[in-house]
Amino acid sequence: PLTCCALLFVSCSVPLKSIVVDLQVKGHVATVSSTLQYVNEEERPLEAVFVFPMPAEAALCHFSAKIADKEIISVLSILQAREEYDDAIASGDQAFLLEESDESADVFRLSVGSLPPAQSAAVTFVYVTELSVQADHALRFCLPAVLNPRYTPPALYGVPIKSSPAGVPYSLSLTAHVSSPNPIIKVESKCSLEPLVFISADHTNAKVSLSAGHMFDRDVELFLYYQNAHQPTAIVEAGEATAQPGSLMRDPVVMLSLYPEFPSALMSSVTSCGEFVFIMDRSGSMGCPMHNGSGAQTRIESARDTLLLLLKSLPLGCYFNIYGFGSNYESYFPKSVEYTQETMDQAVKRVKEMEANMGGTEILQPLKHIYSQQCIPKQPRQVFMFTDGEVWNTKEVLSLVRNNAESHRCFSFGIGEGSSTALITGMAQEGCGHAQFITGTDRMQPKVMQSLRYALQPAVVDISEEWAVPVGMSTTCLSPPINTIFQGQRALIYAQLKGESSDSEGRVTVKYRLAGQEVTNTLSYSLKPAENTGLSIHRLAARSVIRSLERDEQNEGADKEALKARVVELSVQAGVSSSHTAFIAVLKGSGEAVKGPLLRRRVPTVESMCACASVEEDSEGSVEAVKDPLLQLISLQKASGCWEMDGALVEVFVKTEEEVVKQTPAQVSDGVWATVLALIWLHGFKMDAQVEWQFVAMKAVTWIRNQKVVSLSESVRAGNNLLGCQVKEEDLGL
C-alpha cells in the first residue's frame, strides 16, 4: 500500500464554514477574490491551517482578514514572516500568514491563529490569472477544489499523514462577471449554473453564478465562448501614477494575445519519424476513479485505453518505448526499439496487463534515465508524460526538464482533478511541448491525440520577436522568449512601454521557420491605454518576470543572492507573492501570552477520496476485455495499417463472418476487404470521434494505396451495402 502526504481530517468540528468567490473576467484575464469564513466552535484558542491549490500561472496580489468588525490588510514581507507569525500568536495576538509552498508554486498554505473560542474570522485573498485556451477556442477558468496529496518519500519525512474519506462540510458560492471586446456567445460548466444574464445590448458584458447550495466537492470549471476568440488582440494597461518613475508599475504594459496560423500545405505534412517515449504513472493513486460520478473508469484504465490508441497511431519507421513509474520504474525495452508488428504486439500485451501497483510517485529517476540515453539520429525525441501530478519535488523535476530541453519535446498530461498545474504546465513549457488536463468526465483519448498531432508536425524553429514603437518610445519584453509554437495555440506576451509619442500605434512581428520555410505574423495595436483594467495585466507581467528569475536561481553557478534580491524587490513593488515573500497580517490583542499549546486543526480540502492504497484485483480478471467497439476495432489494426478478417473484427461490424466473407468483391484480398470495411465503419459510425482515429485511418489509407487495388470503387460500394452506410470514396481519403 502507498502512503501519501495529505491533509488531516479530525473528528472535531471543522473551523472553515463557507467560501464566497467573486470572479471578474476581462478578455483572457481573470481576477479571483475568495473569502473564507472561519468559526472556532471549541473551548480553547485554535490555529487553523488550510492548504489549497492555485493555478500555477496565477499572481497572488492581496490578502486581508476581518475579525468581528475589524479589518486588517496584510503586508507582503520577506520570509521572516513565519517567525513574525509565530511570535505574534505566542504573544496573544491574532495573526494570519499566507505563503507559497517551498516545493511547488501552485500550492499555498494559509495559517489562521489564534482564534479565541466562539470567535469568527473572514479572510480574503485575491489573485489574477490567465485563462487557458481549449481546442474548441473556449477559455477555461478552473477553481480547484482538490488538492491531491503530494507523495512524499518516507525516507525524507517519516510516516506522512493519511487522509480518510470524509465529506467536505463547507459550501461555495461563486458569481462571475464577464466582459470581452468580442460578444460573449455562452458560458458552460460541468457544475449547475444559473442562466447567463447579459448586462449590455451588444453582449460584451454578462453575469453568471453557480446554482445555490453548491457543495465544493469537485473542481469548478467555467468555459467561456467569445465570437472570433482566436483573433490576435492587444490590451495596453495604464501604470500606477504613484509608483516609482521608470518602474514596471509606473509605465504602461501591453499584453499581446497571438494565434500563429501556419500555411495549410505545411499543416498537411506529417512526419513519419521520431522517438516516442511514453512515461506512465503507475502509483497507487492512479487506481482512483477519474471522477465521482457513476460508472467512472479508474485513471489507470483510461490510461491503458489511451496507450493502446497511441501505439496503434504511431507511424511505421519511428522508434518507441514505454516506461512505468511509481516508487521505482521499469521500461518495456532496454532502449527505444523500431516500431514493427512484433514490437507493437509485445507492447500492447504489456499495456493490457498494466496496473496501478508501483507505490509512490517518483518522476525524477525515470526522467534522468531517459535523458541519459543517446538520441537516435534523425529521430527527434518526443516524451509523453502521464501523471496525476502528486509529486513533492516539482521544482527539481522542472529544472531537469529545462536542462535537457535541447534533446527532446515534452508533452504532459494531468490525469484527474487535483493534478499539479505547476508540474504539468511547467514540464510542457520547459520542454517546448504542450500540456493537457483530463478532468471530470473528459475522455483522455481526444486530448492525447491532439498532442500527438502536434508531436508529428514539423517543429517550429528560430523563433524571434521584433517590437516597433514610435520615435521617443521603447519596449522591454517581460515574458521569456517564445520557445514553442503550435498551430492554433495562443501565446501571451507582456511588454513594458517606456517614453511618450504623439503616434498612436505599435507593432510586434513574430518570425519563425517551419519545414524550411520562413513564416511571419504581425500584429498592430493601439498604444492608448484601455479603461478600467485596474493593474491585473501589470501583476501578471510582474509574475512572469518573477517566475523567470526564480527559474534562473535553479541554474548551477547562478548568483542566488542577487536574483533573490531582485525577486523580493519586484514582488514587494508589484504586490505579487513569490517564493521569497509571504503575506502577513497581525491584529494586536490583549498582550497576554498564550498559555499552553494552541489546538491545531488542518482544514480538509476535497481529497480524491481514494485511500491511496494500491488497487488489489483478482489476478485472473484484472484486465477486462475492451468493450468500446471503437477501441476494439483499433486494437485489431496491424502496425502496417491494415486489418485482417477474423471473428473479433466482424463482431465490431455486428455481422456474421459468413455474411462478410460472402460479400467480398471479386479479386480483392481478405486484408484489403477488411481494411476498407474498417475505414467505412469509422467514417459511417464514429465521425464524432475522428480526432481519436485520424492517424489510424491515415495508416490504413497508405497501406491500401500501396496494394495497387484495381477494383477499389467496387469495394467501397460493397462495403457501404454491407454496413448500411453512404460513405464516399473521396471521403475515405482513397
Amino acid identity of 68? A
pLDDT of residue 382: 94
Residue range 296-301: mean pLDDT, rounded: 89
Choice between 229 and 275, residue whose per-residue pLDDT is larger: 275
Task: Yes or no: say if 81 and 94 are a contact pair by the CB < 8 Å rule.
Answer: no
Q: What is the pLDDT of residues 509-551, one digit of tens each?
A: 989 888 788 888 888 999 988 776 689 999 999 999 998 998 8
Asked whether residue 457 carries a pLDDT value surpassing 90, the answer given is no
Choice between 213 and 498, residue whose per-residue pLDDT is larger: 498
CA proximity to 251, closest of 241, 261, 264: 241
Sheet hosting strand 491-499, strand order edge to edge: 233-237, 253-258, 491-499, 473-477
According to DSSP, the residues that pair with 258 across neighbouring strands are 491
Lowest-pLDDT range of 191-195, 536-540, 554-558 = 554-558
Lowest-pLDDT range of 132-136, 326-330, 491-495, 705-709 = 132-136
Asked whether residue 267 carries a pLDDT value surpassing 90, the answer given is no
Q: DSSP secondary-structure letter at 732?
A: G
Highest mean pLDDT: which of 14-23, 44-53, 129-138, 316-325? 316-325
pLDDT of residue 9: 28
pTM metric for this prediction? 0.77
The percent of residues in the chain predicted with pLDDT above 70, rounded, is 87
Lowest-pLDDT range of 121-135, 137-151, 183-197, 414-428 = 137-151
Choice between 207 and 501, residue whose per-residue pLDDT is larger: 207
CA proximity to 143, closest of 58, 26, 17: 58
CA triplet 338, 342, 344: central angle to 5 degrees? Answer: 70
pLDDT of residue 266: 67
Q: How far apart are CA 177 and CA 209, in angstroms?
A: 9
pLDDT of residue 344: 96
pLDDT of residue 5: 26
Asked whether residue 309 carries a pLDDT value surpassing 70, the answer given is yes
Q: What is the pLDDT of residues 155-176, one digit of tens each?
A: 433 333 333 333 455 778 999 9
Taken as a whole, the chain contains a residue count of 734
Sign of CA pseudo-dihedral 536, 539, 540, 541 = positive
Choice between 594 and 392, residue whose per-residue pLDDT is larger: 392
Q: Which residue has the cell 517590437?
A: 467
pLDDT of residue 25: 94
Asked whether residue 598 carries a pLDDT value surpassing 70, the answer given is no
Residue range 342-369: mean pLDDT, rounded: 93
Task: Yes or no: say if 243 and 249 are a contact pair by the CB < 8 Å rule.
Answer: yes
The four Cα atoms 298, 299, 302, 307 give a dihedral, to 10 degrees, of -140
Residue range 352-361: mean pLDDT, rounded: 91
> Using H for helix, E for strand and C for coil, what is the string for 236-289?
EECCCCCCCCCCCCCCCEEEEEECCCCCHHHHCCCCCCCEEEEEEECCHHHHCE
Confidence of residue 119 (pLDDT cuts 50, 70, 90): confident
CA proximity to 283, closest of 251, 327, 235, 224: 327
Q: How far apart are CA 287 and CA 532, in angstroms?
A: 48
For 547, phi then psi, to 5°, come to -65, -40
Domain annotation for the chain: domains and CATH numbers: 16-165+172-227+576-603 (2.60.40), 253-266+460-573 (2.60.40), 271-456 (3.40.50.410), 629-732 (no CATH)
Other beta carbons within 10 angstroms of residue 538's beta carbon come to 31
Q: How far apart are CA 56 and CA 685, in angstroms?
A: 40
Asked whether residue 272 carries a pLDDT value surpassing 80, the answer given is no
Q: DSSP secondary-structure letter at 664?
A: P
Residue range 181-192: mean pLDDT, rounded: 91
Residue range 66-88: mean pLDDT, rounded: 82
Asked whether residue 226 carries a pLDDT value surpassing 90, the answer given is yes
Choice between 442 and 715, residue whose per-residue pLDDT is larger: 715
Q: DSSP secondary-structure letter at 489?
A: -
Choice between 123 and 652, residue whose per-residue pLDDT is larger: 652
Preceding omega of 294 cis (within 30 degrees of 0):
no
Distances (CA, A) of 685 to 375, 649, 724: 41, 15, 10
Distances (CA, A) of 246 to 242, 304, 478, 536, 569: 12, 55, 14, 19, 14
E strands, 131-170, are: 132-133, 139-143
Asked whether residue 113 carries a pLDDT value surpassing 70, the answer given is yes
Residue range 264-279: mean pLDDT, rounded: 79
Confidence of residue 622 (pLDDT cuts 50, 70, 90): very low
Asked whether residue 28 carries a pLDDT value surpassing 50, the answer given is yes
Sheet hosting strand 517-526, strand order edge to edge: 460-468, 505-514, 517-526
For 84, phi then psi, to 5°, come to -60, -40
pLDDT of residue 456: 84
Neighbouring C-alpha atoms within 13 Å toward the C-beta of 415: 28
pLDDT of residue 161: 30
Task: Yes or no: say if 412 and 25 are a contact pair by the CB < 8 Å rule.
Answer: no
pLDDT of residue 323: 97
pLDDT of residue 150: 45
pLDDT of residue 563: 93
pLDDT of residue 107: 77
Confidence of residue 263 (pLDDT cuts 50, 70, 90): confident
pLDDT of residue 169: 56
Average pLDDT, the chain: 83
Task: Yes or no: say if 729 and 701 are a contact pair by the CB < 8 Å rule.
Answer: no
Task: Yes or no: say if 3 and 125 are a contact pair by the CB < 8 Å rule.
Answer: no
Task: Yes or no: say if 273 and 378 are a contact pair by the CB < 8 Å rule.
Answer: yes
Distances (CA, A) of 348 to 242, 302, 310, 634: 64, 15, 10, 12
Residue range 270-290: mean pLDDT, rounded: 88
Q: How far apart are CA 106 and CA 711, in angstroms?
A: 60
Q: What is the pLDDT of residues 673-710, one digit of tens each?
A: 999 999 999 999 999 888 889 999 999 999 999 998 88
pLDDT of residue 590: 47
Lowest-pLDDT range of 363-377, 388-402, 420-434, 586-600 = 586-600
Residue range 574-582: mean pLDDT, rounded: 90
According to DSSP, the residues that pair with 476 across neighbouring strands are 496
Amino acid identity of 483? N
Confidence of residue 136 (pLDDT cuts 50, 70, 90): confident
